[in-house]
Amino acid sequence: MKPDGPYRADPDSVPWAAGGTVVVLVAALGAVAVYAFGAALAAVHPLIAIAVNAVAVLGVAPTAWRWRYTPVVRWVLAGAAVGLVLGWLAILVDGISGLL
């Protein structure tokens, strides 16, 4: 699917090294933030952690979807998505290991 709008990136000029660095850094920061916030909320009540995370993701998703082809922002969004998934996995592993 081709992007709509004025923010079309030329496929031959994609800065993979710089973009990959941004993805890794944003993913690391995002994963730590999601884990810390989710673990703090889960200490209060696990359902609060799930609800707050779901509301946050559902609120950000439409904007992230619109910005996915913007040349610089797409790297930040990719890192944020990876960080979010890694943070959720860390919370899950921490929760399951606490039950054992």
pLDDT single digits (tens) 11-43: 667 788 999 999 999 999 999 999 999 999 999
Centroid of chain to Cα 69 = 16
DSSP state of 91: H
- If you count them, how many residues does the chain have? 100
pLDDT single digits (tens) 56-69: 999 999 999 999 88
Collect all residues with Cβ–Cβ distance below 8 Å to 16 and sequence separation of at least 6: none
Residue 2: the pLDDT is 56
